[in-house]
């Protein structure tokens, strides 16, 4: 599958797959195993069509065993006529004795021609226990220059799998034939369709690189075409995969189709089969993938959509029974969100409200996509017997805050508080603990006014002496926003007072929450210094924040501080420092499961801000390039600041009318919580967009509005970062005495900032132009300083052998021969 349209009957083959296919020469027997739609046949025909030095003999086994054997004998006749008659007389082996005789014949077979490859397509049609036994016995026999390639859909003979594992038989599977995002990008380009790498990643996530399905994505566009494509996919799967499965395997898959992913123990519990049978069935279905890291199974997304369609056609009683069993298995495995989702589908709310779900386990799912489900669950509170357990009810209160559903939040808090006070199943200590958590949530009715919030925080201490842990420790203090200042600067001219309020209440807040958000008040001050152009003071405070947050595992504050340090490094033009802080952000995400679950979107936002500063829009995650996608993914609290990255992206890509069309709702959103910083940025972008669309008077008015929002708090950096767009406008605007010092400060810092940006961009281009990886660049720069390999290992914490191999690659890429040349290169 996945033809190159301009080349008749030719498949797209990546360099990665070419390398794997070329390894057939190492083995006598090679299996290419993948489901229909992975292009086994056309890939082999394309690859072997002009393969140098080999004669290719092609046999299709999609016939009877007798016809297949006759075709094989004819092929052998071309290789060794003296043996062909003996094979023909033997016939297709059906007994152990005939298998042994076949092994004897194969061991004596000599190749009287040049190098030969026998390719047998649809080998499943004839592959049986006898042939599996033959391979087990005969795999080591050698016939010089004679190779076999077998194309099959499934491989479930354990003896053959063992030989492949021991590297005695070659194997190419669906992971080799699948397209990775880079393959999709290249494949579309070869077919004269241009997509960016983010779209390629999106297609990969929807298809897992299934080549035939990727081709359908390329051939269809628009809503009607997508519907047609969906029908084509279902028909393809039904005809080529579903109809080929027996009833027991179909029932097995239907039972599992309700799972997002599942472990083998969940599979056993759900299907009521023993583990051995489950594993046997899972091996038979190539469109179920196994993740070794998490030890979980999952359906290919396209196959899962088909399976869900099949599942919905079952009787209602069957659907509920399967769904409830899956929900129970999810719950026993602490996969709370998916358990709640399935219980909600079955209207079993009692199990939801008495489960042990934590806010941390649900936080990353509290997004627009799941709002209807959470809202429905929250409104079932009044119909459910909580049996003295109120943890989940309180979590739903906070979920309603995150969705900005304050009416539901208020009604829940009022009735939960009364119910707790009157519940005889709850003792006094537990009552006070619950009421303290509710008092904490009460503070969020006055969110982002820390003076008012602090009054509720103080009341918590009257209810309990123990730190809260049901809500406060279970979500990122920053709500995934890289900027604390964007969340808590709400009054024009009030930044200093707001910082004082945060500093004043921080000790009390840390006491009742056991250090939740540790370092937030220092980060707020660091941001204010940075935005006022006091870069050195901001840098000093950032180091303090990083230490404070790291010591308390406050991952969001740690990431936000490193994000600010990366921006400071750009200001200074310090490329090595910039890379270090960006790497810190990445490492925190990849090295910590909690951070990975709840902060991956925050890291994407950090990168988006940095990449827009450096005009590297292609590197921005795809979900941040569209306002609807952002609404679906971003937390409502941080949404306004996240939209700033979208605004700058639209400006950089010259989508001015698009930006102007949505600007009203962006301004409205920033006013909802009185967010000043996002409003400043948005007015700046409105000035730019209007100026670029030839409405200079309106552009100047918006720029003045932005300055009026910023001048009293001396917030200059949003203007500095966009100076290349607004510099001329600033010269043309009639500036009042109040604004004059402010504009001078912008002009002063803009020169330093633009110089720093150019330095970092130049360093980045050097890596791209010469193909150096970040690690190779680090090694190269230290080597250019005449450090020895041993000294480099000590600085970078890598093995000396790694340094040596990197040096060879560096010399080769840069076309130089010595460390002296390396020094000259960097100079």
Q: Any idea where the domains of the chain sit in the sequence?
A: 15-177, 346-475, 619-759, 771-826
The DSSP element (H or E) to which 239 belongs, if any, is: helix 223-240
Which token pair is 713? 């708090």
Interatomic CA distance for residues 446 and 461, integer angstroms: 19
- The pLDDT of residue 1: 53
Q: What is the mean pLDDT of the chain?
A: 89
Q: Write out pLDDT tens, residues 420-473.
A: 999 999 999 999 999 999 999 999 999 988 889 999 999 999 999 899 999 999
Residue 188 has pLDDT above 50, yes or no: yes
Which residue reads 């310090």 in tokens?
Answer: 574
Give 600's DSSP letter: H
- Residue 324's nearest CA partner among 337, 340, 312, 304 is 340
CA dist list (Å): 11 to 148, 150, 177, 187, 686: 21, 18, 11, 10, 48
Q: 543: number of CA atoms within 13 Å, CB side?
A: 7
pLDDT single digits (tens) 50-67: 788 788 888 888 888 888
pLDDT tens-digit map of 288-323: 888 888 899 999 898 999 999 999 999 999 999 999
Residue 758 or 485, more confident: 485
Sorted by sequence, the CB contacts under 8 Å of residue 493 that are 6+ apart come out as 712, 713
Give bridge partners of residue 116 from the DSSP assignment. 55, 146
The radius of gyration of the chain from alpha carbons, rounded to an integer in Å, stands at 32
**198 vs 606, more confident:** 606
Q: CA nearest 208: which of 295, 299, 338? A: 299
Residue 806 is encoded by which pair of tokens?
């990197």
The stretch 101-116 carries a mean pLDDT of 73
**Phi, psi (rounded to 5 degrees) for 31:** -110, 135
Which is it for the CA torsion 414, 417, 418, 423, positive or negative?
Answer: positive
CA distance 746 to 586: 32
Place 224 in a pLDDT band, splitting at 50, 70 and 90.
very low
How far, in Å, are 240, 328, 341, 467, 604 from residue 375 at the CA level?
Answer: 41, 22, 12, 29, 27
pLDDT range class, residue 76, cuts 50, 70, 90: confident
pLDDT band at 227 (very low <50, low <70, confident <90, very high): very low
Architecture in CATH of 15-177:
3-Layer(aba) Sandwich (3.40)
Nearest to 273 by CA among 237, 293, 249, 292: 249
Distances (CA, A) of 143 to 21, 102, 167, 589, 609: 20, 14, 18, 53, 62
Place of tokens 């306004």: 640
Lowest mean pLDDT among 355-359, 503-507, 544-548, 765-769: 765-769
Q: What's the confidence (pLDDT) of residue 422?
A: 95
Phi, psi for residue 412 in degrees, rounded to 5: -65, -50
Q: Whose CA is closest to 680, among 732, 638, 716, 628?
A: 716
- To 10 degrees, the CA torsion angle through 442, 445, 449, 451? -30
- Of the listed ranges 318-322, 549-553, 694-698, 819-823, the least confidently predicted one is 819-823
Architecture of domain 771-826: Orthogonal Bundle (1.10)
How do residues 775-806 score in pLDDT, each as one tens digit? 787 888 888 888 888 888 888 878 887 888 88
Whether the pLDDT of residue 39 is over 90: the answer is no
Residues 332 and 59: their CA atoms lie apart, in Å, by: 51
Helix (H) or strand (E) holding 170: strand 170-172
What is the CB neighbour count within 10 angstroms for residue 82?
12
Strand duo 288-291 + 296-299: pairing: antiparallel
Q: Supply φ then ψ for residue 751, to 5 degrees.
A: -65, -45
Q: How confident is the model at residue 498 (pLDDT cuts 50, 70, 90)?
A: very high
Show the tokens assigned to 637.
């609290």
pLDDT in tens, 516-549: 999 999 999 999 999 999 999 999 999 999 999 9
The strand pair at 170-172 and 116-121 is best described as unpaired
pLDDT of amino acid 74 = 84
3-state per-residue secondary structure call for 756-778: HHHHHHHHHHHHHHHCCCHHHHH
Given pLDDT bands bounded at 50, 70 and 90, which one contains residue 337?
very high
Residue 126 has pLDDT above 60, yes or no: yes
Using DSSP, state whether 653 is helix, strand or coil: coil
How many angstroms separate the CA atoms of 668 and 662, rounded? Answer: 10
User: Which residues lie below 8 Å from residue 324, measured CB to CB, with a gap of 6+?
Assistant: 342, 343, 346, 348
What gap in Å lies between CA 360 and CA 374, rounded to an integer?
A: 15
Question: Per-residue pLDDT averaged across 152-160, rounded?
Answer: 84
Query: 112 pLDDT band (50/70/90 cuts)?
Result: low
Name the band, by pLDDT with cuts 50, 70 and 90, for residue 515.
Answer: very high
Which pLDDT score is estimated for 225?
36
Distance (Å, rounded) from C-alpha 222 to C-alpha 706? 39
């Amino acid at each position: 599958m996945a033809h190159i349209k301009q080349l008749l009957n030719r498949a797209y083959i990546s360099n990665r797959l070419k390398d794997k296919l070329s390894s057939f020469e190492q083995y006598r027997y090679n299996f290419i195993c993948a489901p229909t739609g992975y292009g086994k046949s056309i890939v082999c025909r394309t690859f072997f069509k002009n393969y140098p030095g080999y004669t290719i003999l092609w046999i299709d086994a999609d016939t009877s065993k007798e016809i297949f054997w006759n075709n094989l004998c004819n092929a052998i006749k071309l290789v060794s006529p003296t043996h062909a008659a003996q094979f023909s007389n033997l016939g297709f082996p059906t007994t152990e004795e005939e298998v042994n005789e076949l092994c004897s014949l194969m061991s004596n077979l000599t190749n009287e021609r040049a190098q030969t490859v026998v390719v047998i397509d649809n080998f499943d049609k004839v592959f049986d226990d006898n042939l599996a036994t033959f391979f087990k016995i005969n795999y080591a026999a050698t016939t010089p220059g004679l190779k076999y390639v077998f194309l099959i859909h499934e491989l479930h003979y354990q003896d053959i799998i063992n030989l492949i594992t021991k590297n005695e038989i070659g194997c190419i599977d669906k992971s080799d034939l699948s397209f990775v995002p880079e393959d999709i990008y290249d494949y579309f380009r070869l077919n004269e369709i241009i997509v960016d790498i983010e779209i390629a990643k999106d297609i990969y996530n929807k298809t897992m690189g299934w080549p035939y399905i990727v081709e359908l994505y390329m051939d269809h566009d628009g809503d009607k075409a997508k519907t047609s494509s969906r029908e084509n996919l279902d028909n393809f799967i039904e005809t080529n995969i579903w109809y080929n499965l027996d009833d027991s395997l179909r029932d097995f898959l239907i039972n599992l189709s309700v799972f997002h992913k599942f472990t083998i123990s969940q599979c056993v519990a759900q299907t009521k089969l023993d583990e051995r049978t489950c594993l046997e069935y899972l091996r038979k279905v190539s469109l179920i993938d196994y993740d070794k890291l998490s030890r979980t199974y999952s359906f290919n997304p396209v196959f899962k959509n088909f399976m869900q369609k099949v599942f919905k056609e079952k009787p209602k009683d069957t659907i509920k029974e399967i769904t409830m069993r899956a929900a129970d298995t999810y719950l026993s495995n602490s996969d709370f969100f998916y358990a709640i989702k399935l219980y909600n589908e079955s209207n079993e709310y009692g199990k939801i409200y008495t489960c042990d779900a934590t806010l941390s386990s649900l936080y990353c799912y509290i997004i627009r996509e799941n709002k209807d489900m959470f809202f429905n669950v929250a409104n079932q509170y009044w119909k459910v017997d909580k049996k003295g357990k109120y943890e989940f009810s309180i979590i739903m209160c906070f979920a309603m805050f995150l969705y900005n559903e304050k009416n539901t939040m208020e009604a829940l808090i009022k009735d939960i508080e009364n119910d707790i006070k009157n519940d005889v199943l709850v003792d006094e200590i537990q009552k006070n603990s619950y009421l303290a958590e509710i008092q904490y949530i009460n503070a969020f009715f006055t969110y982002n006014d820390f003076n008012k919030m602090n009054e509720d925080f103080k009341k918590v201490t009257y209810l309990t002496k123990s730190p809260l842990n049901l809500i406060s420790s279970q979500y990122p203090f920053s709500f995934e926003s890289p900027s604390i200042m964007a969340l808590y600067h709400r009054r024009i001219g009030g930044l200093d007072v707001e910082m004082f309020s945060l500093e004043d209440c921080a000790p009390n807040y840390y006491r009742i929450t056991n250090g939740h958000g540790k370092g937030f008040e220092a980060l707020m001050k660091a941001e204010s210094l940075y935005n006022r152009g006091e870069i050195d003071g901001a840098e000093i405070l950032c180091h303090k924040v990083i230490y404070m947050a790291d010591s308390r595992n406050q991952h969001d504050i740690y990431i936000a501080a490193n994000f600010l340090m990366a921006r400071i490094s750009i200001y200074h033009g310090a490329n090595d420092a910039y890379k270090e802080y960006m790497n810190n952000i990445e490492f925190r995400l990849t090295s910590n499961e909690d951070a990975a679950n709840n902060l991956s979107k925050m890291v994407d936002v950090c990168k988006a801000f940095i990449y827009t500063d450096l005009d590297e829009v292609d590197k921005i995650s795809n979900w941040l390039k569209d306002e609807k996608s952002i609404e679906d993914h971003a937390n409502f609290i941080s949404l306004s600041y996240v939209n700033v990255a979208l605004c700058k992206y639209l400006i950089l890509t010259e989508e001015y009318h698009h930006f102007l069309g949505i600007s009203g709702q962006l301004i409205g959103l920033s006013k909802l919580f009185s967010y000043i910083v996002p409003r400043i940025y948005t007015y700046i972008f409105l000035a730019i967009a209007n100026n670029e669309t030839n409405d200079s008077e309106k552009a100047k008015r918006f720029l003045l509005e932005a300055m009026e929002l910023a001048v009293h708090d001396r917030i200059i950096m949003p203007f500095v970062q966009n100076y290349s767009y607004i510099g001329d406008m600033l010269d043309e605007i009639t500036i009042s005495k109040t604004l004059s010092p402010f504009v001078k400060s912008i002009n002063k810092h803009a020169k330093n900032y633009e110089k720093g940006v150019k330095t970092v961009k130049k360093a980045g281009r050097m890596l791209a132009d010469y193909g150096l990886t970040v690690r190779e660049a680090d090694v190269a720069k230290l080597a250019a300083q005449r450090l020895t390999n041993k000294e480099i290992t000590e600085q970078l914490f890598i093995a000396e052998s790694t340094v040596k191999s990197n040096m060879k690659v560096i010399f080769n890429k840069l076309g130089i021969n010595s460390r002296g040349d390396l020094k000259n290169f960097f100079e």
